[in-house]
Amino acid sequence: MENNSDIVFVLHGLNDSLTNRQLYFALALTSYLFTIFVNLTLITTVCAEKTLHEPIHIFVCNLCVNGICGASSFYPKLLHDLLADSHIITYAGCMMQMFVLYSYIFCEFTSLTVMAYDRYLAICKPLQYRALMTAQKVAQLLLLSWCFPLLETSVGTVLTARLSLCGRHIRKIFCTNWDVVKLSCHADTTVNNVYGFALLISHLSQTGLILVSYVHLIRASLRSRSVRRKLVQTCLPHLITLLVFTLSLVFDVMYSRYGSGAALQALRNMLAAELLVVPPLINPIIYGINLHQIRTRILQNLGLRAEVLTPHT
């Protein structure tokens, strides 16, 4: 068997009978450019306006930066494949795509957890919020939201890279860890399996912590109209994003490990791509619309009046 570094994988996720490739290419390119545009618009708006340098706005910017990374791990290769006759990727390219992809997924979870913690302090402990959420604390949380996912991804990548591979065909439109592990030469993948389940449990636990924080937020909202307004403006889109992201990820992971046959292959590819297409696109839109200060500033930069386009909340 040749060295892994010499392997060229064949991706089978795209329909071989796909026609109108130029149309799909145009749609994908438009989606990618619009994703970059809306994320950069929110990031530059917050960075340029000192009044927006609040923890919640900074955490939203962090989510947008991660969204750009996630989209960039998927779209360039997809755009290339839509115009190419063969859909291949080198071993190094596959490992790099997986590293960026999983870093994005894990960072999405940690970022959403950090944002839930921030909202919990802001709504349930408003008098202590400034003392608890200091600039140093914000910096520490941002560092955690990136370092922990990068560490998780690095360990997973090393565990996968140690395997000798005997296959080349990946039945997906991009590289994923489990699809590569399944190509190993009858090697013992127990460690990979255990680590994969540990990661799944870890991030489901984060989801549980977020949901617990929302129980406290909902209780607080029942006692105050102003708290209910804050909950709708900053927490509802956060919760929707979390649920969609988590359900799609769990479905893809479980089908990758236990699914068989081609009956659900199209659905699997759609939901797998949804993780990389929808959150990076809708996060800046949802938060930009719901956070009044960001919405007002963006509309002012566009030369419009927020009061005319949106009602007061």
How far apart are the C-alpha atoms of 52 and 292, rounded to whole Å? 11
How far apart are the C-alpha atoms of 123 and 200, rounded to whole Å? 29
Is residue 277 a contact partner of residue 173, using CB atoms and an 8 Å limit? Answer: no
Return the bridge partners of 165, or none. 184
The whole-number pLDDT of residue 259 equals 58
The whole-number pLDDT of residue 103 equals 94
Q: What is the CA radius of gyration of the chain?
A: 21
What are the extents of the domains in the chain? Answer: 4-309
**Complete DSSP assignment for 261-313:** SSTTHHHHHHHHHHHHHHHHHHHHHHHHHHSHHHHHHHHHHTT--HHHHS---
**Complete DSSP assignment for 225-256:** HHHHHHIIIIIHHHHHHHHHHHHHHHHHHHHH
The whole-number pLDDT of residue 266 equals 65
CA distances from residue 26 to 73, 82, 272 in whole angstroms, order as listed? 18, 10, 20
Give the tokens for residue 19.
Answer: 């026609």
How far apart are the C-alpha atoms of 83 and 86, rounded to whole Å? 9
Write down the pTM of the prediction. Answer: 0.86
CA angle 7, 11, 13 (to 5 degrees): 165
Give the tokens for residue 296.
Answer: 């007002």
Query: Which of 197, 169, 304 is CA-nearest to residue 253?
Result: 197
The whole-number pLDDT of residue 1 equals 47
Give the tokens for residue 11.
Answer: 């991706």
The whole-number pLDDT of residue 104 equals 93
Query: Which of 63, 27, 31 is CA-nearest to residue 277?
Result: 31
User: What residues contact residue 208 under an 8 Å CB cut-off, 6+ apart?
Assistant: none
Question: Do β-strands 169-170 and 88-90 pair in parallel, antiparallel, or remain unpaired?
Answer: unpaired
Please report, as a single letter, which amino acid is at residue 24.
Y
pLDDT along the chain (313 residues), means of 10: 76 68 88 95 90 90 93 92 88 94 91 89 88 94 95 94 88 85 81 86 83 83 73 69 71 63 62 80 80 77 53 42
CATH architecture of 4-309: Up-down Bundle (1.20)
Backbone angles phi, psi at 184, to 5 degrees: -65, 155
